[in-house]
Amino acid sequence: MYALVCIFVRKLFNITQLLVYTMMHYSLIKKRVRFLLFLPVLSFLCHHCVQPPDYPVEPVIAFKSLSKNQIPQRNLGTDSIAISFSFTDGDGDLGFEDNENSIFLTDTRDNVEKLPYSIPFVGLQGVGNGISGDITVVFANNLTCCIYPVDSGRIPCDTSFRVPDAFDTLSFKIRIKDRAGHFSNTIETTPIYLKCKK
């Protein structure tokens, strides 16, 4: 009987110890649970209250894509290709109110600049003014044609069966200018194949 009472007292003592420990540390456990519940809210706030981007004042561009990589030269029918690239500008001064030229494409085959394009006017966007986005330029094939080697005896834009190659390969170097006169870096498109023959 004495042994049975001792076992009962020990078990009661263990249960009492557990209850006392839980009561003593209840506020600590409660704080930890509150903190764990607050973590998603804190994470959301930190994610949405970030500092504005720190872009340089000169525009920075990066090539993204072409809508297709093959078009006929101008004498073989009307067609166009969309050239997309991303941009950032630290002071957000892109585009001119008077549509001044601000996108410049150069044909890499002969380093001749094609007709320039204009970026629509972008007003200042607040304290940070840093902006980013994508620009798509639609290039019509009426502005270019196949160029043949000098020794081929063919003139540019010839579409006869005698032209030496069925396709000519070109790419464009692109840069943009902001209102302060800063030019961006120069990027180059992936190859574009011009169909030369009928």
pLDDT digits (tens, 9 = 90+) for 101-152: 999 999 999 898 988 899 998 887 665 668 899 999 999 888 788 887 777 7
CATH number at residue 151: 2.60.40
Q: Does residue 64 sit in the same domain as residue 40?
A: no
Looking at the fold, whether 43 and 64 belong to one and the same domain comes out as no
Answer yes or no: are the C-beta atoms of 76 and 195 closer than 8 Å.
yes
177: in domain: yes
pLDDT tens digits along 34-82 = 544 444 544 554 444 555 577 899 999 999 999 999 999 887 888 999 9
- What residue numbers bound the domain in which 14 lies? 2-48
Rounded CA-CA distance 61/184 in Å is 7
**66 and 161 belong to one structural domain:** yes
Distance CA 136, CA 120 (A): 12
Same-domain pairing of 113 and 181: yes
Domain count for the chain: 2
Residue 99 φ/ψ region, left for φ over 0, alpha for ψ in the -120 to 50 degree band, beta for the rest? left
Q: Walk across the sheet containing 70-72 and list its strands.
A: 70-72, 192-195, 167-170
What is the C-alpha to C-alpha distance for residues 94 and 29, in angstroms, rounded to an integer?
Answer: 55
Q: For the chain, what's the residue count?
A: 198
Question: pTM for the full model?
Answer: 0.70
> Is pLDDT larger for residue 156 or for residue 126?
156
